[in-house]
Amino acid sequence: MYSERVMDHFRNPRNVGEIENADGIGEVGNPVCGDMMTFYVKVEAGRLKDVKFKTFGCGAAIAVSSMVSEMAVGKTLEEALKITNAMVAQELGGLPPNKLHCSNLGADALHRAIEDYQRKKAS
Amino acid sequence: MKRAYFDHAAGTPVDSRVLGAMLPYFREQFGNPQSIYGEGGVAKAALDLSRRQVARLLNAEPEEIIFTASGSESNNLALKGIAAARSDKGRHIVISAIEHVSVQSTARTLGRHGFQVTEVPVDDKGVVDPAAVKAAIRKDTIVVSVMAANNEVGTIQPLAEIAGVCREAETLFHTDAVAACGVIPLDVRVLNTDCLTLAAQTFGGPKGAAALFVRKGLRLPSQIEGGNQEHNWRAGSENMPAIVGLGKAAELAQAEMASRAAALTVLRDRLIRELPVRVERSYLTGHPNQRLPGHASFCMEFIEGEAMLLFLDDAGISVASGSACTSKSLKASHALLAMGLPHSLAQGSLMLTLSPENTDDDVTRLLEAMPGIVRRLRQMSPLYAQFQKDPAGYAERLSKEKECHV
């Protein structure tokens, strides 16, 4: 059902965890939908120095979270905000059609964490 | 290493004795029972024998058995047939909230074509209260349909009491017994049921072989029109290998029911006893003992079922889940939600359906694999993290579950 890339990221997810005193936190989804993701970011000199996540969800949701985190680390905030759901799905070698909404959650959660950082910084 | 398979509700190996009975009907005895020459006679005799075997399993008369191609087809025939036959008497249908989708969808379709449907709720163990059925029945109720046992949580319903309520109200009673028939004793005379659905794959028979019992005197219009097979109840050339397999499986199920149930109950009860000890905050779903002998179902808190299923698959263990992500419709099991489980718990559903081919070693493998897999997923789970840091906040989250808008 899932591609090899998806299964690899599901079985060995990168960047699982939380960041103490994270610069930004983003949460999307809820258990009613079946998937929920929380992303934590650490920012240094305008770049994502560290990205971690916790995910409640199916194999696709976990793989997407892992892939998003891997794609985001080291990028500038502007670059990271340009990561789209379609890019994540493509990097994973595709997702089953009924699982595409999981990849939507992944990029959204990352963007929310970055926006949370930007909001805190502005205030 | 041999896989440990716990999803017999989805697929069961055909009993080798059943397969042996079926095989001649693919090549040597390929005749059509409707033909009047020699080959037809042989097929007709086999068809009649299968009908007697299935009738005996239910304590029914052979002419009360209609062969179909699936439990879903039988359920459609029962409900649509009764709706067509009795629409002049009334247009109200009662089903339970945990019916199989083939009953639920059929009833809802009728609901869009001039019928009214009442869904009777269940309690937290998945039991339908006969008094609630009685309260739901109206003057214009033409049929009540309540399953004999639920496929997702294994709960066995108080069928005789529900049928009694229907008899008293002079309403027809249909039961979807796909999960129960051939596994626990079902006597249509004692239960006093008008229609009963069964499928061979539950008790060692092939897929594509099922039947509907229709009490003598009740006539339902055919839902598949054409030739006059099955006494004009259902058109189409008889699927002889499947029907012979169903008959043989019924005969064996009747003879071996008690010994199979005893062995299955031992494995089931070990799962029910030990899994909640090995995995904290895991819960049995369904009734603790008023349940199918080979059925154990649970919810693992803080994690999602599909992820658990995939890790178990990696460990060579096959299970099912009622979680939203596991289903093609992306909706959590309506049965679990009807029992009042919060969505987040229903998402952690684990459903184990055993057959006589399961061993104690299979159970040991599952019990040993579960704690590590659950731990791994909980370490990733934001819900578990919240529960550990802020139990009150987590509890509040559960109580304020929102609708899903994905």
Which residues in chain A have Cβ-Cβ distances shorter than 8 Å to B385?
18, 38, 54
* pLDDT tens-digit series, residues B35-93: 999 999 999 999 999 999 999 999 999 999 999 999 999 999 999 999 999 999 999 99
Question: Nearest CA of chain A to the CA of B76: how many Å?
Answer: 28
Q: Which residues on chain B are in Cβ contact (under 8 Å) with A58? A: 304, 306-307, 323, 325-326
Q: If you average pLDDT over every residue of chain A, what do you get? A: 93
Q: In the structure, what pLDDT confidence band is assigned to residue B406 with cuts at 50, 70 and 90? A: very low
Burial readout B347-356 (b: 16 or more C-beta within 10 A, e: otherwise): bbbbbbbbbb
**Spatial distance between the Cα atoms of B5 and B236, rounded to a whole number of angstroms:** 35
Q: How confident is the model at residue A56 (pLDDT cuts 50, 70, 90)?
A: very high
Give percent above pLDDT 70 in chain A.
99
Given a cut of 90, whether residue B251 has pLDDT beyond it is yes
Domain locations in chain A as residue ranges: 4-122
Q: Give the model confidence (pLDDT) of A12-23 as tens digits.
A: 999 999 999 999
Domain ranges across chain B? 4-8+256-399, 16-254
Each residue's pLDDT tens digit, B313-358: 999 999 999 887 777 666 778 999 999 998 889 999 999 999 999 9
Average pLDDT value for residue range B289-315: 96
Residue partners of B88: CB distance under 8 A and separation at least 6: none
Using CA atoms, how far residue A89 sits from A12, A106, B52, B129, B267, in Å, is 17, 10, 56, 48, 42
Question: What's the rounded mean pLDDT across residues A69-77?
Answer: 97
Q: Which residues of A are catalytic?
A: 33, 102
Mean pLDDT, rounded, of chain B: 95
**B16-254 domain in CATH 3.40.640.10?**
yes
Q: Of all helices (H) and strands (E), which one includes residue A56?
A: strand A47-56
Q: In this model, does residue B178 exceed pLDDT 80?
A: yes
What average pLDDT does the segment B4-17 reach?
Answer: 96
Query: B343: which chain A residues are within 8 Å (Cβ-Cβ)?
Result: 31-32
- Predicted local distance difference test score (pLDDT) of residue B328: 67
**Hey, are the CB atoms on A31 and B381 less than 8 Å from each other?**
no
Report the SS3 class of residue A77: helix
- The one-letter amino acid code at B164 reads G
pLDDT, average across residues B125-129: 98
What is the model's pTM? Answer: 0.94
Q: Cβ contact (<8 Å) for B332 and A34?
A: yes
Predicted confidence at residue B152, as pLDDT, reads 94
Mean pLDDT of B243-255: 98
Residues of B in contact with A7 (CB under 8 A): 310
Q: State the pLDDT confidence band at A30, using cuts at 50, 70 and 90.
A: confident
Given 3.40.190.10, 3.90.1150.10, 3.40.50.1000, 3.40.50.980, which CATH number is that of B4-8+256-399? 3.90.1150.10
Distance (Å, whole) CA B69 – CA B74: 8
CA dihedral B162, B164, B170, B172 (to 10 degrees): 50
B341: closest chain A residue by CA: A32
pLDDT category of residue A98 using cuts at 50, 70 and 90: confident
- Report CA B308 to chain centroid distance, whole Å: 23
A18 — contact with chain B (CB < 8 Å)? yes
Interchain CB distance below 8 Å, A32 and B404: yes
Is B134's pLDDT higher than 50? yes
Q: What is the pLDDT of residues B213-222, one digit of tens each?
A: 999 999 999 9
B347: nearest CA partner in chain A = A34
Tell me the average pLDDT across B381-387: 94
- Judged by CB atoms within 8 Å, which residues 64-83 of A form the interface with B? none
Q: What are phi and psi of B213, to 5 degrees?
A: -85, 130
Nearest to B303 among A18, A56, A60 (CB): A56
Contact between B385 and A18 using a beta-carbon 8 Å cutoff:
yes
Look up the CATH architecture of domain A4-122: Alpha-Beta Complex (3.90)
Q: Is the dihedral of CA B251, B252, B256, B260 positive or negative?
A: negative
